[in-house]
């Protein structure tokens, strides 16, 4: 966010103070404009705005949306927490998925890996070498045997995988009494059969990125993410032969240092070749766009190639779309209303109390003597909101009573939790790591549950 924009926003708030009594100095202090340096070649700045303003939210959201500045709305109302991320496009390279499988390519071994595996002769090894052979090599060797003797397909069913494990067990050395030796590397191979035999394919989300209009129709203004994504797409269609660049890492395993390093180098060297090939495609794309070759750094290239299976793009709807009668996403709400206690009910109640505030200039139940009278008024606001947006859903009266008893209070425990959650999302946006939610987060302090919705 540039200094003129900061000054302009301050001027806009001050200028509208007389016109809008909601714009109190306290409201102005609730706008936090954070500038955090983000390491890049151009020494640019990453920007995000965090706000809890309600009465001027739509105007502020539109202003920031048009300026392409991310906005995070964070709110506590009684035992309910609410967050809304508003960002046109957020690209993530390092998404850090929870269940990340190793990229071993055992179903489609590249030539260097095939040659390396063939250099091992398990039947002619002494006990020491046999018990220190990496489990990846063991699985690869017996997978070749499986293809030759059993099937031309990978073991997929439980029965087939058990048969493959038994095939590996038969390879364990036996002593003079015919008892199997204690070979931990073979046990490690048997244990990793499920994850080692995963099919090498391009994830659906990556296919969607390749088919995205931003990837297909590059322009001079295209960010480096989309240029590199297009370069990876070109690689897949040519050198990759339908596969993404090799990640170049292998897990720790039982093996002697020499064998482990040799296997590790096979994957690393292949990854380097793939990165170089993607880099050549990227250089051609930059040239066609009239951009300097150094506009994409070597670090960016390596990082995206090693994470090419985990790229993510998040596009949120604007707040004006959410609040517009013709663009309101009622199908999303209706789909969750099969459960009368779904967290989406809390969202509807928050919209109802905002409607109450607009009509009465205060929140329901702020003072104890108002609670009983405000229950009927809030219920009327809720009914009006549902009818106006074409929502034929039923909200239990218990929620109306509860929100009146809240009296717009902000309990410190709920506020602290939401503050921590909001800080986490801000860090995700600034660093470009991990995936932000899209686009609404609701927390229920009553049931200690939370949910996200695309509203």
156 burial via Cβ count (<10 Å: 0-12, 13-18, 19+): exposed
Region 186-207: what's the mean pLDDT?
Answer: 92
Position 48 scores a pLDDT of 53
Q: Per residue in 401-418, pLDDT tens? A: 999 999 999 999 999 999
Query: Look-up: residue for tokens 């229950």?
Result: 375
Region 229-245: what's the mean pLDDT?
Answer: 95
Res. 57 pLDDT band, cuts 50 70 90: confident
Region 292-302: what's the mean pLDDT?
Answer: 92
Residue pair 141/148 in contact (Cβ under 8 Å)? The answer is: no
Residue pair 313/91 in contact (Cβ under 8 Å)? The answer is: yes
Region 418-433: what's the mean pLDDT?
Answer: 92
Res. 58 pLDDT band, cuts 50 70 90: confident
Q: Per residue in 15-39, pLDDT tens? A: 444 444 444 433 333 443 433 333 3
Res. 40 pLDDT band, cuts 50 70 90: very low
Region 365-369: what's the mean pLDDT?
Answer: 87
Q: In whole angstroms, give the CA distance from residue 152 to residue 147.
A: 5
Mean pLDDT of the chain: 85
| Count of beta carbons in the 10 Å neighbourhood of residue 290 | 7
Confidence (pTM): 0.81
Res. 441 pLDDT band, cuts 50 70 90: very high
| Count of beta carbons in the 10 Å neighbourhood of residue 103 | 20
Residue 44 pLDDT > 60, yes or no? no
Region 389-393: what's the mean pLDDT?
Answer: 89
Instruction: Please give the order of strands across the beta sheet that includes 71-77.
Output: 31-37, 45-51, 71-77, 80-86, 440-444, 449-453
Region 370-396: what's the mean pLDDT?
Answer: 91
Q: In whole angstroms, give the CA distance from residue 304 to residue 278.
A: 10
Strands (E), 22-89: 31-37, 45-51, 71-77, 80-86
Q: Per residue in 84-132, pLDDT tens? A: 999 999 999 999 998 888 999 999 999 999 999 999 998 888 889 899 9
Q: Say how many residues make up the chain.
A: 455
The tokens for 241 are 């032969």
Q: Per residue in 125-179, pLDDT tens? A: 888 989 999 999 999 999 999 888 877 788 888 998 999 999 999 989 888 887 8
Position 76 scores a pLDDT of 93
Region 174-202: what's the mean pLDDT?
Answer: 88
Strands (E), 116-271: none
User: What proportion of the chain, given as a percentage, has pLDDT over 70?
Assistant: 88
Position 31 scores a pLDDT of 42
Res. 54 pLDDT band, cuts 50 70 90: low
């Amino acid at each position: 966010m540039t200094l003129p924009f900061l000054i302009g926003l301050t001027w806009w708030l001050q200028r509208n103070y007389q016109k809008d009594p909601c714009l109190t100095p306290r409201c102005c202090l609730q706008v936090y404009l954070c500038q955090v340096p983000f390491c890049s070649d151009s020494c640019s700045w990453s920007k995000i705005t965090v706000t809890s303003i309600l009465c001027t939210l739509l105007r502020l959201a539109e202003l920031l949306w048009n300026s392409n500045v991310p906005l995070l709305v964070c709110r506590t109302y009684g035992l309910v927490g609410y967050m809304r991320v508003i960002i046109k496009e957020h690209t993530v390279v390092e998404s850090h998925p929870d269940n990340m499988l190793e990229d071993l390519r055992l179903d489609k071994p590249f030539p260097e890996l095939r040659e390396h595996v063939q250099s091992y002769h398990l039947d002619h090894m002494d006990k020491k070498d046999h018990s220190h052979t990496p489990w990846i090599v063991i699985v690869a060797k017996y997978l070749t045997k499986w293809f030759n003797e059993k099937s031309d397909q990978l073991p997929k069913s439980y029965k087939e995988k058990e048969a493959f494990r038994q095939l590996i067990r038969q390879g364990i050395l036996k002593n003079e009494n015919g008892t199997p030796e204690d070979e931990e590397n073979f046990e490690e191979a048997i244990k990793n059969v499920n994850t080692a035999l995963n099919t090498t394919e391009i994830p659906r989300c990556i296919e969607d990125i390749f088919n995205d209009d931003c990837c297909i129709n590059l322009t001079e203004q295209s960010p480096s993410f989309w240029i590199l994504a297009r370069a990876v797409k070109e690689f897949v269609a040519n050198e990759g032969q339908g596969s993404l660049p090799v990640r170049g890492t292998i897990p720790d395993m039982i093996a002697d240092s020499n064998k482990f390093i040799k296997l590790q180098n096979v994957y690393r060297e292949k990854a380097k070749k793939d990165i170089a090939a993607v880099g050549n495609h990227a250089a051609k794309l930059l040239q066609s766009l009239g951009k300097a070759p150094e506009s994409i750094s070597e670090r960016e290239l390596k990082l995206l190639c090693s994470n090419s299976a985990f790229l993510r793009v998040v596009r949120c709807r604007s707040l004006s779309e959410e609040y517009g009668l013709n663009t309101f996403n009622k199908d999303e709400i209706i789909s969750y209303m099969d459960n009368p206690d779904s967290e989406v009910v809390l969202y509807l109640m928050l919209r109802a109390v905002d409607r109450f505030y607009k009509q009465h200039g205060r929140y329901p139940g702020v003072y104890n003597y108002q609670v009983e009278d405000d229950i009927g008024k809030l219920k009327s606001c809720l009914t009006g909101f549902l009818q106006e947006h074409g929502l034929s859903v039923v909200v239990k009266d218990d929620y109306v009573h509860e929100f009146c008893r809240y009296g717009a209070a902000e309990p410190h425990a709920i506020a602290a939790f939401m503050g921590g959650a909001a800080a986490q999302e801000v860090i995700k946006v600034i660093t470009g790591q991990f995936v932000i939610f899209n686009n609404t987060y609701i927390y229920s302090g009553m049931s200690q549950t939370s949910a996200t919705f695309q509203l």
